[in-house]
Amino acid sequence: MHNRKSGSFHLFLSVITTLGAIVAASVVAAQSADRPWMNPNLSPDERADLVLKQLTLDEKLALLHGNGMAHAPQWQMPLSHLTNGGAGYVEGVKRLGIPPLVISDAGYGVRDSGANGRYSTAMPSSLGAAASWDTDSACEFGTVIGQELRAQGFNMTLGGGVDLAREPRNGRNFEYAGEDPLLAGSVVGNLMKCEQAQHVVGDIKHYVMNDQETGRFFVNAVTSKRAMQESDLLAFHIAISIANPGAVMCSYNRINDDFGCENSYTLQDVLKSDWGFKGFVISDWGGTHSTEKASAAGLDQEQPMADFFGPKLKAALEAGRVPLSEIDDHARRVLYAEFLSGIVDDPPQKSVVDVEKGLEVAQRVEERSIVLLKNNSATLPINPSKVHSIAIIGGHADVGMISGGGSAQVDPPSGNAIMPPGKGATIWQKPVWFPTSPLKALQAKLPNAKIDFDPGTDANSAANLARNADLAIVFAYQWLAEDMDVPSLSLPDHQDALIEQVAAANPHTIVVLETGTAVTMPWINNVAGVVEAWYAGSSGHKALANVLAGDVNPSGKLPMTFPKSEADLPHPDRPSIPAESQARVADVADNGAPTSNASAHAGYAVHYDEGAAVGYKWFEAQKKQPLFAFGFGLSYTTYAYSGLSVDSTAKTARFTIRNIGNQSGTETAEVYARLPKGAGESFKRLVGWKRVTLAPGESQAVTIPIDTRVLQAFVDGFDGAKDFWNLAQGDYEVLVGSSSDNTPLTGSLQVQ
Ligand code: NOJ
């Protein structure tokens, strides 16, 4: 009802509001007149240009290097206390409203929260997230990390690892997204797109060919341009085009002789010129080796110190060895990334991390990432009317689950679950266990089952427990971390023998794997089932219990090939480091940082002769049967594929999937293609996929775009001629199915 009193009150309110708006507008106007780059309606390019014009030389140079790293005694500088406990700090330009970069590692969660007295959610490892083949999950993964970074006062992430799992023994494979460029690029691209959308500067790393940790500060990755373009570079290109990150981190290793952070081919020619990357190139920590060369090659910012891009860069400029235009370009790129990511307009405010949300997302991602590799006689899901007693063995499953180490390490609440309390949560290169007990989670799901535990340290005692139980579950782990590769793909700590013995005692033995890369399984024929849980994150125990008990139907598929043995790999024995370099390998600080100039170790090279035939492509080309193929993963239901038609104009594959089992489930349908016969290529390439959820008996017609970016051949111009990409004309065989080695439908794509 309207009355005069309330009418005049409304009038009063609207006058006040209008006056307020006028005042606010004039403040903004004054601000923009004074600081036009603060106008959010201008593009990041325009804003960066406006700021650049205002900068003194010293202000520009300050944008081009770090100022030390928290918790690293060898990398302390006068401003390292400003890192907020993170990996790095770059000065801003306070007088112009340009914030400093406050940088944290955040591979699967925000690093170092323990030392900083904070909490971070551990998402499943990125390799696990890739096993979901789910770009929406990847987006949620990135969103949580972006929000937690901001809550902890950081405005830049160092996540976004997308090096291919070319070498399955690489100790950092858990930080990456598998062996296929399209899958890895799409997963990591979406992850980082959503992370940066939270207003933190995004990062994609380690650019490029950082495919092993052995000799990482000096190893020379040797490969042809074409091979690199169609494999590792392609993964980066796809990830970078999706995420549009503010930063790309160049890698420690050499690529065809030049270090990743002074490589004019990868940085200048490919990343900046061909791909049009407008953000800044940040060096890996201690990965800068020169001033003029690195600057000219396209490195924009040295981290975490100022050894080459501090006083030396200024001197080089003053001596005319580095042009001002180069300095301007570096500085402009840092400013561009700040505007692009939103950290200028929306700086982080410290707040309490949304713990519940993090746990919920971590669980959902893990539920989609778990891969069921074997399930004889429908041993899983556990049927409570038949299974009354369960022997749980090994893997510290009574207490927790293992996580990946190095700079990606996330600190578990209340410290390492298998170390005495108070001894410190994380130590570089020591396995860290989260307090996420799968035993407890399973007991909560199956309250009437009698569940007993044996640590598995004595195989006889474990077998005895297993013998008398209806079901035995062995938890097996393989720990990976930065700065090391695993010597082999065998499970460590005599776990193969443990599994053999338990399986001999109980035919209903399930193995749950907590691994960061592929493992070999000499016992595969003797166990009833295998579940790959990867590094499962903060809610991994709950996700796993849901899968084991059947509340969640597994839907993950392998993002990398599991070989039968190392003998089947392109490099069965990896080249060893020559003696003179070997002596210097030990010359590494506690946190894996190089302590000396690695350029002395030029002698160690890995020749990637397999070229672009990475993972499943290698196995197919060599006609080798893997243990489990790329793209493989079972479900508690069964799917049937039919009726493929390929539309060559629209470049799509259309077919029908039907759930022919009696449970609902989600199937990832995979589409591959082979280049026309004349191309002489003996493997197929993944060109698309789709996750489809189907009720029992339900069928769905799906249309999947064929991504021709991955079908192009890179043509190396040689001798100064321009390189180019070519989508060959002809008849491409299209293959559709549930994994790379099971493609029941075939069709043909005609490219004119
Ligand atoms: C070295 C690692 O290779 C890199 O991934 C990490 O971001 C930096 N250290 C900073 O911790």
pLDDT band at 134 (very low <50, low <70, confident <90, very high): very high
Q: How far is the CA of 83 from the centre of ligand 1 (A)?
A: 15
Q: How far is the CA of 249 from the centre of ligand 1 (A)?
A: 9
DSSP-assigned states of every residue in 477-512 = E---BTT---S-SS-STTHHHHHHHHHHH-SSEEEE
Give the pLDDT of residue 33: 82
Question: What tens digit of pLDDT does each residue of 647-667 get?
Answer: 999 999 999 999 999 999 999
498 within 8 A of 462, measured Cβ to Cβ: yes
Give the pLDDT of residue 581: 64
Question: What tens digit of pLDDT does each residue of 397-451 get?
Answer: 999 999 999 999 999 999 899 975 555 544 567 899 999 999 999 999 999 999 9
Residue 127 and residue 165: Cα distance in Å, rounded?
9
Q: How far is the CA of 284 from the centre of ligand 1 (A)?
A: 6
Atom of ligand 1 at shortest range from CA of 205 = 5
Q: Characterize the bridge pairing of strands 450-454 and 432-434.
A: unpaired
428 within 8 A of 591, measured Cβ to Cβ: yes
Closest-CA residue, ligand 1 atom 1, reads: 285
Q: How far is the CA of 477 from the centre of ligand 1 (A)?
A: 24
Give the pLDDT of residue 721: 87
DSSP-assigned states of every residue in 665-701 = EEEEEEEEEE--GGG---S-EEEEEEEEEE-TT-EEE
Atom of ligand 1 at shortest range from CA of 407 = 11
Q: How far is the CA of 206 from the centre of ligand 1 (A)?
A: 9
- Supply the mean pLDDT for the chain: 93
Give the pLDDT of residue 701: 98
Ligand 1 site-directed mutation target among 248, 482, 484, most atoms within 8 Å of CB: 482
75 within 8 A of 68, measured Cβ to Cβ: yes
Closest-CA residue, ligand 1 atom 9, reads: 285
CA atoms within 13 A on the CB side of 22: 6
Residue 651 and residue 708: Cα distance in Å, rounded?
8
Q: How far is the CA of 659 from the centre of ligand 1 (A)?
A: 44
Q: How far is the CA of 317 from the centre of ligand 1 (A)?
A: 29
Distances (CA, A) of 641 to 354, 521, 638, 703: 42, 30, 10, 13
Q: How far is the CA of 407 from the centre of ligand 1 (A)?
A: 6
Report cis status (omega within 30 of 0) of the bond before 36.
no
Q: How far is the CA of 329 from the centre of ligand 1 (A)?
A: 24
Q: How far is the CA of 7 from the centre of ligand 1 (A)?
A: 63
Instruction: Please name the residues in contact with 506: beta carbons below 8 A apart, sequence gap of 6 or more.
Output: 391, 463, 466, 467, 469, 471, 472
Q: Tokens 């309390």 appear where? A: 421
DSSP code of residue 273? I
Cα 170 to chain center, whole Å? 14
Q: Which two tokens stand for residue 578?
A: 């020559």
Report cis status (omega within 30 of 0) of the bond before 381.
yes
Q: Tokens 């400003």 appear where? A: 82
Closest-CA residue, ligand 1 atom 4, reads: 284
Atom of ligand 1 at shortest range from CA of 111 = 11
Q: How far is the CA of 87 from the centre of ligand 1 (A)?
A: 8
Instruction: Say yes or no to pLDDT of 17 above 60.
Output: no
Atom of ligand 1 at shortest range from CA of 406 = 2
Closest-CA residue, ligand 1 atom 8, reads: 285
Question: What tens digit of pLDDT does each residue of 331-348 get?
Answer: 999 999 999 999 999 999
Q: Which two tokens stand for residue 253?
A: 């290793």
Question: What tens digit of pLDDT does each residue of 310-337 get?
Answer: 999 999 999 999 999 999 999 999 999 9
Helix (H) or strand (E) holding 606: strand 605-607
Closest-CA residue, ligand 1 atom 3, reads: 284
Average pLDDT of span 496-517:
98
Distance between terminal CA atoms of the chain? 72
Residue 698 and residue 657: Cα distance in Å, rounded?
8
Q: How many CB atoms lie within 10 A of CB 450?
A: 13
Ligand 1 site-directed mutation target among 105, 205, 282, 429, most atoms within 8 Å of CB: 105
pLDDT band at 720 (very low <50, low <70, confident <90, very high): confident
Q: Tokens 């790393």 appear where? A: 205
Atom of ligand 1 at shortest range from CA of 304 = 10
pLDDT band at 603 (very low <50, low <70, confident <90, very high): confident
Ligand 1 site-directed mutation target among 172, 407, 588, 590, most atoms within 8 Å of CB: 407
Average pLDDT of span 712-722:
89
The proportion of the chain whose per-residue pLDDT surpasses 70, expressed as a percent, equals: 91
Q: How far is the CA of 481 from the centre of ligand 1 (A)?
A: 12
Question: What tens digit of pLDDT does each residue of 356-397 get?
Answer: 999 999 999 999 999 999 999 999 999 999 999 999 999 999
Q: Cβ < 6 Å from ligand 1: which residues?
A: 87, 105, 158, 205-206, 284-285, 407, 482
Q: How far is the CA of 334 from the centre of ligand 1 (A)?
A: 19
Residue 694 and residue 659: Cα distance in Å, rounded?
6
> Which 3 state secondary structure label does DSSP give 131?
helix
Atom of ligand 1 at shortest range from CA of 251 = 3
Listed residue (212, 196, 207, 201) closest to 234, CA to CA: 207
Q: Which two tokens stand for residue 528?
A: 């009833």
Q: How far is the CA of 58 from the centre of ligand 1 (A)?
A: 27
Q: At what angle do helices 540-549 and 355-369 cross, to 10 degrees?
A: 40
Atom of ligand 1 at shortest range from CA of 105 = 7
616 within 8 A of 179, measured Cβ to Cβ: yes
Atom of ligand 1 at shortest range from CA of 161 = 5
Ligand 1 site-directed mutation target among 101, 158, 163, most atoms within 8 Å of CB: 158
Ligand 1 site-directed mutation target among 90, 173, 249, most atoms within 8 Å of CB: 249
Ligand 1 site-directed mutation target among 90, 219, 281, 284, most atoms within 8 Å of CB: 284
Give the pLDDT of residue 31: 60
Provide φ and ψ at 297, rounded to 5°: -75, -20
Question: What tens digit of pLDDT does each residue of 259-273 get?
Answer: 999 999 999 999 999
Q: How far is the CA of 66 from the centre of ligand 1 (A)?
A: 13
Residue type, position 223, single letter: T
Residue type, position 472, single letter: A
Q: How far is the CA of 496 from the centre of ligand 1 (A)?
A: 33
Of the listed ranges 24-38, 149-163, 628-642, 682-696, the least confidently predicted one is 24-38
Question: What tens digit of pLDDT does each residue of 576-594 get?
Answer: 887 766 544 444 444 445 5
